[in-house]
């Protein structure tokens, strides 16, 4: 069948062609079926959408991506014929039916994912099938491998590559900004790629962007790492395991994360990491809430590492309150930089960073890793290394904490009674910070004056809320009054929760990379 091209002002992640319902019936195709489009010497397979009004009989509606693929003008005729759906769909249906997939089948699905050959319905079926049916360790390894191989990879001179990852869920976690320069200052190579926030107030890429550029090309990253042993860049700019970003778009609205293991490990493999320490924040409101859950996950990470030739250590870290005092990109960057400049900082932040860095140092054969890490921080060797990294990434190496300003709108939240801080709610911190504007408004966030165990007097400031924009500021203030961010008690208060709750529920799901 030959149909006249109608140009639609529309963009999509995948090639979509819109047929009139009469032509679709004539071709015998239904929505999500595929048609092959031919014009001149070019051919592509497009996903069928069907419309009754915007595309007339005899026309084919083309999204911008297809208009640009073909050198075609509006009203020129192109050949349209039904073709079978991608082979990978057979394997998705197989997984949906509860069967185990072979490595080549998984590869095909991931390949067709990154080539944008699959529709949203098909991708959702794959993601939910993995979630509902689970994966064998061999499937998980195949998936990690496929996600790495369908993207680019960072090739460095050395094979001894170290890396660090946090599965997320604890606000204020600026640990990477300390770990990277400590490890690099000890002579190890740590090409750290980070993500931007998905559901949290800030990702490491959002934080470090306040200090230096993070959207580097793969070539630029190689140059930076060859010069300084390290980098702190945004992984999303360089197509390392790009399938993950496509799956996240399905996982996010469904609040499920079956890709956690392959997502983390495929990105580590893409930078050819040989030794990886994985931080698993463990606490009441994080992904991993118990010792048992941690141990199960850690075992899986370690096993998966063996299959991928990566030596993995997992560390369960205390996550019942934010790390350090600050939450929000600028505030966190300021706190991390200040800790490097001074060689000291909040005890929890320093302890966590030196434990993680120390583990990597011990991988390299050094003794007393944490002590050594601490010494590198204290002696400001880590700060010097950070200056090198900032300069290599195109930033100003002399940037100081005072150069980092949070939002100009500030509200102080004071204690209504005296006592001890018994607990803090990460969930409330996340929700309020996002209402205040993070991660988009880098200056938004929260500064905590008190944390768990601190004594507080009535009228003393508990925390300061920062924002850049009036409307967000006001909404965040309102929310901060409603939610229990901080719980204060005389002595030890024992009640954690009471059901049924009367407060309104706020959606909360942690999906971080």
Q: Which of 38, 43, 44, 51 binds its own copies (CB under 8 A)?
A: 51
Whether omega for the bond prior to residue 500 falls within 30 degrees of 0, making it cis, is yes
In angstroms, what is the minimal distance from the CB of 508 to its own copies? 12
User: Between 253 and 365, whose beta carbon lies closer to its own copies?
Assistant: 253
Is residue 314 within 8 A of residue 280, CB to CB? The reply is: yes
Closest separation between CB of residue 315 and its own copies, Å?
A: 28
- How many other CB atoms are found less than 10 A from the CB of residue 87? 13
Residue 505 DSSP symbol: P
Tell me the two tokens of residue 52: 């009754």
Task: Tell me how far, at minimum, the Cβ of 463 lies from its own copies, in Å.
Answer: 21
Distance of CA 209 to the CA centre of its chain: 15
- Cβ proximity to its own copies: between 398 and 507 the closer is 507
Element containing residue 129 per DSSP (H, E): helix 120-133
* Residue 28 within binding range of its own copies, rule CB under 8 A: yes
Any contact of residue 8 with its own copies (CB under 8 A)?
yes
Distance of closest approach, residue 25 Cβ to its own copies, in angstroms: 4
Q: Are 96 and 129 in contact (CB under 8 A)?
A: yes
Closest contact distance (angstroms) between CB of 318 and its own copies is: 27
Within 8 A by CB and 6+ apart from 44, the residues are 15, 36, 37, 66, 69, 70
Query: For residue 293, what are its two tokens?
Result: 């859950």
Out of 16, 17, 19, 33, the only residue in the binding site for its own copies (CB under 8 A) is 33
Judged by CB under 8 A, the chain residues 198 through 257 that form the site for its own copies are 249-250, 252-256
Residues contacting residue 494 through CB under 8 Å, at least 6 positions apart? none
- Among 2, 30, 187, 457, interactor with its own copies by CB under 8 A: 30
The residue range among 51-59, 337-345, 377-385, 392-400 that interacts with its own copies, by the rule CB under 8 A, is 51-59
Q: Is 62 helix (H, G, I), strand (E, B) or coil?
A: strand
Instruction: Please tell me which residue in 112, 163, 245, 257 is annotated as part of the active site.
Output: 257
Cα–Cα separations (whole angstroms), residue 444 to 433, 437, 438, 506, 511: 7, 6, 6, 20, 21
Residues 53-82 contacting its own copies, CB under 8 A:
53-54, 64
Q: Respond yes or no: is residue 257 known to be catalytic.
A: yes
- Which C-beta is closer to its own copies: that of 277 or that of 428? 428
Contacts to its own copies from residues 189-208, by CB under 8 A: none
> Alpha carbon 102 to chain centroid distance?
28
**Which one of 109-117, 260-268, 365-373, 430-438 is the stretch in contact with its own copies (CB under 8 A)?**
430-438
122 binding its own copies? (CB under 8 A)? yes
Pick the binder of its own copies from 4, 14, 32, 102 (CB under 8 A).
32
* CA pair distance 356, 373, nearest whole angstrom: 9
Interface pick for its own copies out of 334, 434, 451, 513 (rule CB under 8 A): 434
Q: Least CB distance from residue 75 to its own copies, whole Å? A: 15
Residue 289 binds to its own copies (criterion: CB under 8 A): no
Closest to 466 in 3D by CA, of 214, 176, 201: 201
Q: How far is the CB of 394 from its own copies (least distance, A)?
A: 23
Q: Give Cα 314 distance to the centre of its chain.
A: 18
Pick from 5, 37, 129, 477: which binds its own copies (CB under 8 A)? 129
E strand intervals along 266-364: 275-282, 311-318, 326-327
Instruction: Decide whether 53 or 502 has the Cβ nearer to its own copies.
Output: 53
- Copy the structure tokens of residue 114: 């990154």
396: CB partners within 8 A, 6+ apart: 212, 390
Give the strand pairing for 190-194 and 230-234: parallel
Q: Is 128 in the site for its own copies (CB under 8 A)?
A: yes
Using CB under 8 A as the binding rule, whether residue 96 contacts its own copies is answered as yes
Q: Which is nearer to its own copies, 64 or 347 (CB)?
A: 64
Total interface residues for its own copies by CB under 8 A: 46
Question: In three state form, how does the secondary structure of 441-453 look?
Answer: CCCCEEEECCCCC
> Please, which residue, 18 or 310, has the CB nearer to its own copies?
18
Side-chain half-sphere exposure of 445, counting CA atoms within 13 A: 30
Binding site residues, its own copies, CB under 8 A: 8-11, 25-26, 28, 30-33, 51-54, 64, 84-85, 89, 92-93, 96, 98, 119-122, 124-125, 128-129, 131-133, 249-250, 252-256, 434-435, 437, 440, 507
- Residues labelled as active-site residues: 257
């Amino acid at each position: 069948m030959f149909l006249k091209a109608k140009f639609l002002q529309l963009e999509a992640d995948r090639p979509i062609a819109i047929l009139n319902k009469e032509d679709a019936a004539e071709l015998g195709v239904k929505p999500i079926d595929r048609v092959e489009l031919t014009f001149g010497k070019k051919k592509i397979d497009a996903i069928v959408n069907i419309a009754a009004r915007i595309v007339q009989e005899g026309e084919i509606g083309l999204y911008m991506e297809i208009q640009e693929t073909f050198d075609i003008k509006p009203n020129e005729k192109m050949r349209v014929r039904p073709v079978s759906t991608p082979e990978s769909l057979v394997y998705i249906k197989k997984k949906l039916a509860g069967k185990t997939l072979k490595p080549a089948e998984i590869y095909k699905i991931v390949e067709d994912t990154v080539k944008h050959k699959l529709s949203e319905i098909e991708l959702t079926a794959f993601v939910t099938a993995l979630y509902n049916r689970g994966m064998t360790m061999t499937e998980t390894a195949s998936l990690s491998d496929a996600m790495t191989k369908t993207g680019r990879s960072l090739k460095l001179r050395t094979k001894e590559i170290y890396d660090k990852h946090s599965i997320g869920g604890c606000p204020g976690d600026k640990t990477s900004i300390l770990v990277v320069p400590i490890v690099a200052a000890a002579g190890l190579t740590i090409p750290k790629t980070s993500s931007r926030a998905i559901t949290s107030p800030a990702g490491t890429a959002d934080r470090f962007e306040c200090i230096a550029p993070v959207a580097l090309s793969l070539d630029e990253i190689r140059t930076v790492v060859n010069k300084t042993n390290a980098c702190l860049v945004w992984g999303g700019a360089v197509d390392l395991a790009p399938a993950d970003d496509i799956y996240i778009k399905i996982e996010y609205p469904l609040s499920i994360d079956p890709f956690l293991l392959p997502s983390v490990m495929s990105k580590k493999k893409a930078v050819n990491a040989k030794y990886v320490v994985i931080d698993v924040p463990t606490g009441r409101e994080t992904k991993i809430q118990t010792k048992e859950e941690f141990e199960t996950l850690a075992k899986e990470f370690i096993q998966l590492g063996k299959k991928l030739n990566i030596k993995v250590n997992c560390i369960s870290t205390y996550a019942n309150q934010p790390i350090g005092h600050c939450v929000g990109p600028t505030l966190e960057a300021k706190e991390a930089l200040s800790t490097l400049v001074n060689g000291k900082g909040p005890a929890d932040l320093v302890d966590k960073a030196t434990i993680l860095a120390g583990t990597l140092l011990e991988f390299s054969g050094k003794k007393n890793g944490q002590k050594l890490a601490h010494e590198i921080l204290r002696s400001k060797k880590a700060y010097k290394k950070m200056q090198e990294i900032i300069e290599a990434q195109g930033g100003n190496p002399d940037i100081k904490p005072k150069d980092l300003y949070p939002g100009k709108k500030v509200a102080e939240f004071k204690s209504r009674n005296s006592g001890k801080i018994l607990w803090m709610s990460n969930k409330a911190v996340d929700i309020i910070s996002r209402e205040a504007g993070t991660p988009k408004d880098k200056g938004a966030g929260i500064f905590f004056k008190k944390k768990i165990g601190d004594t507080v007097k009535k009228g003393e400031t508990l925390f300061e809320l920062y924002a850049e924009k009036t409307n967000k500021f006001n909404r965040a203030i309102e929310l901060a009054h409603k939610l229990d961010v901080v719980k204060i008690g005389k002595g030890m208060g024992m009640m954690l929760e009471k059901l049924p709750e009367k407060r309104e529920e706020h959606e909360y799901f942690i999906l971080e990379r």
